[in-house]
Structure 1
Amino acid sequence: MENKKIIKIILISLLVTGLLYFIAHIYSPGVDVYGQDYRIDNISSFKEIQDKIDSIKTEYPQYRAYASDGKKQTMELVWQETQSKDYVVFFCLKKEKATVLCYIRKDAEEPLENVRITLLRLSKSRNISWKDINSKALSKEENEKVKDLFEQEILNKLGKWRKE
């Protein structure tokens, strides 16, 4: 009888610990529970991925993303460095009439073997109203359409990649 109580206490403790870990992970600063991760191979530095993306936006200006400041002014959305030293980059997907926000994660020291890029949010408005990829804010069909378009139009131009 005593052993059953001990086993129950251990199981409940493990369950509570696992639940607390899961909740802490979801609400940790800088953690996004939605999005689609990709790995881009044969990239040796963050400068190299920045140069590739800038080159794509120069060669294909339709991928440059713009936003409105609410006063009929538009500005290009350019690279932004986050507090965690990751990078945020924006692309316009004309076929979807949308802007997508991506994170380029610095989760390794250089030289790199690959870079992780996360397709994170979508906005169909110049005033930028974000909806999370892979969330209930977008239908399953819309999520798949945006991801397919991003893969074909952006990732294929960056080199060899794979979904995470």
Structure 2
Amino acid sequence: MGIRNKSVVPASIKDPACGTTVKNKKGMTNLGNGIYFYSKKCLNNNLDEYAKKIDILSLAEKERKMTHKISFKAFGHATSFLIASTFVVCVIFDLMFPEYAMYSLWLKLLPGFEWITWKGFFLGLLESYLYGWYVTLIWVPIYNYVNSKSK
């Protein structure tokens, strides 16, 4: 089997796949991440076949088998925070530059929203946050499904 710690190398090792004896790292091949295969002689034949013989997956095979799923909770909070903070920035912009105000759009998108009231502001903030979760409920399952099928 491969040695994972570079500093601990036995004096001699018998390669489990082809029986070659390797002494003091001579003939060993570093595959990165601290993973060594014992004998270059055995590696010259077929790396994937050698890896299977000694019960270690090749790095390329590990990458093929890995799947990355997006965390529902993390994506939901991040998206919701982005949309809610954008709402706050837009309200501030509308108050600073009333001639370019967009509050009429908020009246259409956010049910119950009232312009220039605390109740309307906090309701709009809550609804913006919930829109982030709406996006998450649709996008994350689609992404995770498509990503699992593309591997």
TM-score, with normalisation over the residues of structure 2? 0.28
The structure with more radius of gyration = 2
For CA contacts below 8 A with separation 6 or more, give which structure has more relative contact order: 1
Higher strand share: 1
TM-score, with normalisation over the residues of structure 1? 0.27
Higher helix share: 2
